[in-house]
Amino acid sequence: MHFLKTLHQRLIEPKGLLFTLFLLLTILRVPNFAEPYWNGDEGIYLTIGTALREGGTLYTSIVDHKTPLIYYLAMVDNQLQFRILLYVMMLLSTAAFFSLARTLFGRLKTAGIATLLFVVFTSLPWFEGHIPNGELFVIAFVLYGAWLLLQTSVVKSFFNTNTTIKKLQISQKENLLLFFAGSSFGLALLTKVPALFDIIAFGLIFVFLAWRTKLQQLKPQLWSAGVFAIGCIVPLILSIIYFYAIGSGQDYLDFGLLYNFKYAGSWQLSFSSPVLLFLFTLQGKAILLGGMLLLLLGLNRKLSPATQFSLAWFWLALFASLLSNRPYPHYFLQVIPPAAVLVALLFTRERGMTAAAKNRRLALISGSLVTLLAVLVLLNVGLYSTGAYYKNWFKYLTKQYSQQEYFQTFDSLMNDNYAAARTITTTRLKPSLFIWGTNPMLYALTKTVPPTRFTVSFHIADLNVYEQTMRDVELARPEYIIIMNNEARELPGLYTLLFDEYTINTQYQNFTLWKRLPSSASLLY
């Protein structure tokens, strides 16, 4: 009984509760460190990270279509280190979210509920929380920026209505906090473009506060908003200057920034209803978002600051997750922090609220959460199985599964990839490899860099750069070439090269491994 009493007391203290949440996050993520190289996006990040370590130039010698920071984060030596980096960042994110939730709710218990939801839904496989997706790093930088914002008097004055504008002090420390908070949001933008909508959400704090303020009291808020905005923009400007300085400025604009517009508009929905089709267009989504933000602005004095901000953040994050309308679970990770806050708000009673105000708040929060569920259903977002994930790991831990059997539960390519990797990496210290198809995990596993700018065939097809790709392969003549069985597209000239200068090394279940003939190797010298 004494133990239970002590445990209960620890749990109702901020440090004890946060430590418990850290422990839960750690337990949920332990299996992450035993996974094979199986995820395609992670394989691309690590492959590009390898290329950058070896002196490659992002967007020029090696290409993907996201903003640059995720690839520089992936410049670690292996997948385990990448997972450890994510784990540390999520620990810090949890602490920052807990601090934000305490500010929003003012109650430790409610903040604990919100943070518990945050930890669970960003860690479990449902939304691919176990993989170092860009969205998780975006969440981390956003929450670090939010934590810095919460240290400023202007943001405190928004959430604490007892603080008056006259007490606000625009000091050097305040300016630095605002600038570095903005810079953290800017780093989120350099990790993935949809972070722009998190920036807008937190920027709305200044708008909502100004809407409640007399004209003569606007100066400190406008100054604070300007410093925050400058902090957000500076990382982007510096990144453009950097890539132009190394001769990759146009490639950065084409692939790192502008390509996102093409990507966002290329997905075809399967709806038959013209109303649904319109609502999922960029115009339809913008109308809904704009209407909701105007409604929240109109209810400025009828909603608490916490409710008003949380609803705005939720709708902007939902819009961000739907930019491309793709049903990928990890896109919806960005919605989890504000959604966790909204769920916790349902359990929060605000003092002095009338029955009408309670009903209004309940309707707005419930309607928002129901909208998220409806979107997941309509887009047929296939959440990953969590029960099977932990069950398979337990079987592996208790030696009911061999490592080979366990790896194969992640992807049917695993047996073939690991067998091929042993062949590829035992012949020489730095093997060379080209894969025609989609299997970036094998590049990452073997720590090889493709001889072309692209890591997967669908990028080559999407940009119609077949001739350039084939020229790169012919020039490099890699020691090994893999042809994926499920790749229906043909790379003109590839089979001619294979029949002339290569021989089949191994025919695997999912691909064919070709090895360059010794006689053709001499042609390179």
How many structural domains are present in the chain? 3
Between CA 314 and CA 365 the distance in angstroms is 10
Residues 338 and 436 in one domain: no
Is residue 464 in some structural domain?
yes
Residues 391 and 457 in one domain: no
Name the residue with tokens 């009493």: 5
Is residue 59 in some structural domain?
no
Residues 404 and 431 in one domain: no
Sorting pLDDT into bands at 50, 70 and 90, what band is 4?
very low
| Contact assessment for residue 315 and residue 368, using Cβ atoms and an 8 Å cutoff | yes
Residues 404 and 422 in one domain: no
The stretch 250-256 carries a mean pLDDT of 92
pLDDT digits (tens, 9 = 90+) for 452-470: 999 999 999 988 999 999 9
Q: How far apart are the first and last CA of the chain?
A: 78
Residues 110 and 84 in one domain: yes
Give the domain range for residue 100: 2-34+65-378
Is residue 261 in some structural domain?
yes
| Contact assessment for residue 37 and residue 80, using Cβ atoms and an 8 Å cutoff | no
Residues 368 and 416 in one domain: no
Is residue 340 in some structural domain?
yes
Residues 191 and 158 in one domain: yes
410, 430, 464: which is the final residue of a domain?
A: 410
Is residue 90 in some structural domain?
yes
Which strand (E) or helix (H) includes residue 483?
A: strand 480-484
Residues 344 and 451 in one domain: no
521, pLDDT greater than 60:
no
Residues 242 and 119 in one domain: yes
pLDDT digits (tens, 9 = 90+) for 76-121: 999 999 999 999 999 999 999 999 999 888 888 899 999 999 999 9
Residues 102 and 219 in one domain: yes
Is residue 44 in some structural domain?
no
CB-based burial, 347-369: b 16+ in 10 Å, e otherwise: ebeeeeeeeebeebbeebbeebe
Residues 292 and 385 in one domain: no
Is residue 417 in some structural domain?
yes
Is residue 369 in some structural domain?
yes
Nearest to 276 by CA among 380, 153, 358, 184: 380
DSSP string, 418-430: HHHHHHHHHH-SS
pLDDT digits (tens, 9 = 90+) for 138-174: 999 999 999 999 999 888 888 875 555 455 557 888 9
pLDDT digits (tens, 9 = 90+) for 24-74: 999 999 999 999 999 999 999 999 999 999 999 999 999 998 999 999 999
Total-model pTM: 0.92
Residues 76 and 113 in one domain: yes
Sorting pLDDT into bands at 50, 70 and 90, what band is 216?
low
